[in-house]
Structure 1
Amino acid sequence: MVLLKRPGCFSTFLAIYASSTWAITVPSSPPSTASSVDPALLSISLEFFAFPGYMQLPSTTTCLANLAGLRGTAPAVRIGGTTQDRATYNAQLSTPVNYTVASSGDAPTSLTYGPQFFTLASQLQGDVTVGLNRQLNNQVNTLQAAQQAKSTVHNLLALELGNEPDLYGSGSPIIGSSGWSPSVDGASQKAWETALALSVGDIFQAAVYLSFPSWSTANLVPLLGSAISYVKTFSGHSYPQSACGGASTNLQTLMSHSGIVSYTRQYKSEAAAAHAQGKQYFLGETNSATCGGGDISPTFGAALWIVDYVLQGAVNGIDRLYFHQGTIGNCVSLRPLPLSSHLCPQCHRNTASGATTRPARPSTAPPSSRNSSAPSAARASQCSTTAPGAVATYALYSSANQPLRVLIYNSAYYSGSGTRSAASVPLSGLSATGSVRALRLTAPSAPARVDQGAAVTIGGGQTFAGDCSKAGAQTMETVAVSGGTATISVKASEALIVFL
């Protein structure tokens, strides 16, 4: 479990300097007041109809195993999305799913699924959340699916009843003559949860709204009334940018640290509303941009964004963030590697975050190194200035309250042309003598993409092959420590993990 606190050792700066007179002091122990962060903080969401296809890809298993190895716990998986509200359960179906599409890149307008769908879900190692249909207003069919899920999926965490009901249109069967609104949806969620809980128990993930703040967990809670006892978790959906309908995306805006701080702060009240009821709050579906991620999701800059986004989410009380994967072969979010790799982009992007909290032991680390066992971080501290800038620094601690490592992220945008600036970041208060080791996350530029031949690496030479297996070897950099201070150089659009 990771814990974070707003005042502390996370620093931001108004400008990038080649040299400076300030220093970031790494506290010898974490702050006493902190927010808890789930071990599966960074998790995965898979589009409902595409889920069986993902399970047939060896790269999916490899990528999930990579993330589990980095963090020390299997990532949770949410199976849901738009097509869960187009799906009808068929207990007699001999295949996991059945549908017809005009081309492989399309999502079906309707589909059926059977018991084998849940058999596949039971093979996942982490917590599983399954989305079920509410839009078609067939409560009997949804109950059959819920009962099958409960009896088959041993690691079932929660059931969602509907996906983004705030977007239900006038043609949705569940919408009656009175129309649709937050209050009407709240009454619907309450009625469905109350009815289904008699058979499957208190196992529902409520809210699952995209249109925050007009639709929110905070507003839903009083509408649920006594049905709150049937709710296990609350979920919001969140995309900082959109690629739908020809909308343009902007990588520089996405990876800006100050922008990330401002964006994630809005969910603090949502998390607080859930926590006040004794429930967890997730971003149950999130990623860089809607409709596949546009041109930004496959980039190295998006890998850097995910590190800051995940930790800032935790700072604001979000317990887990589930990064959504859509149609196989058609979701740009999945493709900084060849199409055969599918989930490998998440390996690149999420490894940076996972490595921060539990890095694999670098091959060059000596056996006597205090980092050789690569312990999981138990706490992390952060502080921010009143006007966040481009550079962010996180300090992470062990369960014994010992400083383990520091993450430094330079969100200044480097396009690949011109001079690449660098921040010189002095870390003081270090107990190490002589030197510390560091692992660099780098690429030729922020827009760099592996599928276009760019060298995107973690620790010098490590990357991922097309099947999501690790390729190359990590090497550690050595940074001198003098008088308890080490000065770290981090280029624009780059990050560094310092082992203490």
Structure 2
Amino acid sequence: MFLLAPFVLAAYGVVVFALDVSVPVSAPSKAPTVSPALVSFSIEQDRWLDWAGSTSRNEFAYNAFNNLKEITGTPPWIRIGADSEDHTNFNPRIQFSQTKFPAETATVPYPEASNITVGDGFYSAVAHLPPGTHVIWGVNFGQANLTAAYLETRSIVKAFDSPAVREAGITLDFIEIGNEADLYINNGARNSSWNIQQYVAQWTTFAANVSAAAGINADSRVKFVGAAFAESTRTTSGFSPQSAFKAGLLDSPSGAQVKLISQHHYSGSFCSGSGGLLQNLMTKATIRSNLSSFSPDITATHAKGLSYFLGETNSYSCHGAPGVSNTAGAALWALDYALYSSQIGVERTHFHEGIGYKYNLIQPATLNRSILDGSPLSTPLAPHIQPAYYSAIIVAEALGDSGSTQVYEISVNNTRIAGYAFYEGGSLQRAVFINSLAFLKGATSRSSTHLLLSFTDGSAFATMTIKRLKIGYADDTSGVTWGGQTYETSDAKVSGDLDVQVAPVSAGVDIAETEVVLLTFGS
């Protein structure tokens, strides 16, 4: 693989580089089989009913989730909980929910609730998700109230036992006890002596009570998520999966039902109002170093026979950075981030969503305040998708509907271009290439790289279909198209005529700055 000298298209004044890329025709032995729900979602619990709908479903959110199911045959998994999980209590006299919010700020225009009290209707709204959805639900651990966790669990189980939910095949797969317990000293939920040993001891007590309420045992469908920490020491001290295992997390009867370890991860922080640079977020090397740092945790988790997933993740914590998390460039970041995670042993990536969060893939409710600084909007903003949503669509199309697609990162000798190959039945079907060089507003020349494809361990393909994610500028917040079509519609359903090209594989393919191409290979 080598880089050829650049040349200039005189008619356009665009510098074009040529790059040889070799793609295996047969799936390499280390190519993992990847879940069709690789891109899934985490929903902030306080505004769950805005997502699901209370007496009737939220059609916009339903369509946005169901689009992915229509492509892969599998809906995204939904985790419901997060910060407000540890501020939730149950009251049978409340139909849906009563919620108290702190004052909004310019940094956090849509804050999480400080208190939420829910009734049975809150949980039964799960019936409004697409049929076949797998659900993870969190219960309150932060307030150290066993009764709250027990009552919430009973109501959750009741909801999933209802005829509407059972007929739709919507299942409760995991219960999560507490959100980011490693931060409990910081947020006042525990005192300064709080440590991993105390976490395991208290978690074990809660898990025994939750197990009794939910009937969790060796034969039950419902199991436990373990950890769900905000950070990790990646060692056997402090808060990490390794430390939790060492302290006995898996040793009790309830602990033996932990089958999934959750890690929360953001690429940066906007909590103090310091913004990030869009190019930094998109950069190929940064994505890999951010994720690969969890390799010790993933290895330790797999050694216990457990699965590992990013149960809450997104670009910048505290709901995202303005002009970064809500832009088209974030779609390229999310695409590379999700696909690369599959290469290091991450089962799913649950992108965190709230109402009005800057990093949302989906904005499912009408907004009256700016997501950037909280200022009043002269015209309310109707439900809409944000550019990062296209990453979920592209991942779904690349994985297809086989349910057993293998994914392999292609070695690309370029610091800005990433590539992934997709295999069904061990044979190459598709490839995705991502050019993460940010083409920003004000730039006058947009470079392009010409990829010259060759194939190893098998015969070459004659033709390929090329589908492009077209973006004006990396810092645009709308106007993105995928194969000539848009999801920026009033109902989240795709609109427009499909625009793809069929070309000889021998001709190669151009990929511009801030662009994605999906290649589907023919005979």
TM-score if structure 2 supplies the norm length?
A: 0.82
Amino acid at match of 1:496: V
Q: Give the aligned partner of residue 392 of structure 1.
A: 418
Q: Give the aligned partner of residue 85 of structure 2.
A: 84
Change (3 A) 1:498 1:129: same
- Alignment partners' CA distance in 1, 2:402 and 2:434: 21
Contact 2:446 2:512 in 1 (8 A): yes
1:351-500 paired onto structure 2 within 5 Å: 351-358=393-400, 378-384=405-411, 389-398=415-424, 400-416=425-441, 417-429=443-455, 431-433=460-462, 435-450=463-478, 455-481=479-505, 485-500=506-521
Residue 119 of structure 1 is aligned with which of 114, 121, 124? Answer: 124
Change (3 A) 1:73 1:305: same
1:14-93 paired onto structure 2 within 5 Å: 23-56=20-53, 57-93=58-94
- Alignment partners' CA distance in 2, 1:19 and 1:81: 45
The reply on whether 1:226 has 2:251 as its aligned counterpart is yes
Contact 1:77 1:128 in 2 (8 A): yes
- Alignment partners' CA distance in 2, 1:340 and 1:331: 15
Deviation at residue 498 of structure 1 after TM alignment: 0.6
Deviation at residue 58 of structure 1 after TM alignment: 1.8
Contact 1:268 1:318 in 2 (8 A): no
Deviation at residue 144 of structure 1 after TM alignment: 1.7
Question: Does the residue aligned with 1:180 lie in a helix, a strand or coil?
Answer: coil
Contact 2:464 2:504 in 1 (8 A): yes
Contact 2:19 2:449 in 1 (8 A): no
Contact 1:89 1:141 in 2 (8 A): yes
- Alignment partners' CA distance in 1, 2:138 and 2:434: 35
The reply on whether 1:180 has 2:194 as its aligned counterpart is yes
Gaps of 5+ in 1: 1-10, 359-373
Q: Give the aligned partner of residue 366 of structure 1.
A: none
Deviation at residue 494 of structure 1 after TM alignment: 0.6
Question: Does the residue aligned with 2:40 lie in a helix, a strand or coil?
Answer: strand
Which has the larger displacement, 28-37 or 42-51? 28-37
Contact 2:64 2:493 in 1 (8 A): yes
Deviation at residue 460 of structure 1 after TM alignment: 2.4
Q: Give the aligned partner of residue 251 of structure 1.
A: 278
Deviation at residue 102 of structure 1 after TM alignment: 6.4
Deviation at residue 342 of structure 1 after TM alignment: 4.8
Percent identity of equivalent pairs: 26
Contact 2:331 2:389 in 1 (8 A): no
- Alignment partners' CA distance in 2, 1:15 and 1:112: 64
Contact 1:83 1:109 in 2 (8 A): yes
- Alignment partners' CA distance in 2, 1:118 and 1:343: 25
Contact 1:14 1:389 in 2 (8 A): no
Residue 346 of structure 2 is aligned with which of 295, 315, 318? Answer: 318
Deviation at residue 163 of structure 1 after TM alignment: 0.7
- Alignment partners' CA distance in 1, 2:482 and 2:187: 49
Question: Does the residue aligned with 2:468 lie in a helix, a strand or coil?
Answer: strand
Q: Give the aligned partner of residue 107 of structure 1.
A: 112
Q: Give the aligned partner of residue 194 of structure 1.
A: 208
Change (3 A) 1:249 1:313: same
Task: Give a deviation string over 1:232-263, Cα, whole Å, max 9, x none.
Answer: 21101010011112121111011111111111
In terms of fraction of residues, the more strand-rich structure is 2
Contact 1:333 1:345 in 2 (8 A): no
Q: Give the aligned partner of residue 270 of structure 1.
A: 297
Which has the larger displacement, 46-55 or 206-215? 206-215
Question: Does the residue aligned with 2:508 lie in a helix, a strand or coil?
Answer: strand
Contact 1:44 1:75 in 2 (8 A): yes
Change (3 A) 1:198 1:101: closer
Contact 1:207 1:235 in 2 (8 A): yes
Deviation at residue 265 of structure 1 after TM alignment: 0.7
Question: Does the residue aligned with 1:288 lie in a helix, a strand or coil?
Answer: strand
- Alignment partners' CA distance in 2, 1:420 and 1:20: 12
Contact 1:12 1:384 in 2 (8 A): no
Contact 1:298 1:336 in 2 (8 A): no
- Alignment partners' CA distance in 2, 1:41 and 1:233: 15
- Alignment partners' CA distance in 2, 1:392 and 1:16: 19
Deviation at residue 62 of structure 1 after TM alignment: 0.7
Which has the larger displacement, 299-308 or 212-221? 212-221
Question: Does the residue aligned with 2:185 lie in a helix, a strand or coil?
Answer: coil
Question: Does the residue aligned with 2:136 lie in a helix, a strand or coil?
Answer: strand
- Alignment partners' CA distance in 2, 1:388 and 1:212: 31
Q: Give the aligned partner of residue 370 of structure 1.
A: none
- Alignment partners' CA distance in 2, 1:268 and 1:170: 26
Deviation at residue 182 of structure 1 after TM alignment: 2.4
Amino acid at match of 2:515: E
- Alignment partners' CA distance in 2, 1:187 and 1:32: 41
Contact 1:344 1:468 in 2 (8 A): no
Change (3 A) 1:196 1:299: same
Residue 238 of structure 1 is aligned with which of 254, 259, 265? Answer: 265
The reply on whether 1:160 has 2:176 as its aligned counterpart is yes
Contact 1:12 1:390 in 2 (8 A): no
CA-based RMSD: 2.7
Deviation at residue 22 of structure 1 after TM alignment: 5.4
Amino acid at match of 1:241: G
Contact 1:304 1:352 in 2 (8 A): no
Contact 1:303 1:352 in 2 (8 A): no
Amino acid at match of 1:93: I
Contact 2:356 2:363 in 1 (8 A): no
- Alignment partners' CA distance in 1, 2:385 and 2:17: 41
- Alignment partners' CA distance in 1, 2:414 and 2:309: 25
Q: Give the aligned partner of residue 136 of structure 2.
A: 129
Task: Give a deviation string over 1:375-415, Cα, whole Å, max 9, x none.
Answer: 66611222447x861111111111x2221111111111211
Contact 1:12 1:393 in 2 (8 A): no
TM-score if structure 1 supplies the norm length?
A: 0.85
Contact 2:328 2:473 in 1 (8 A): yes
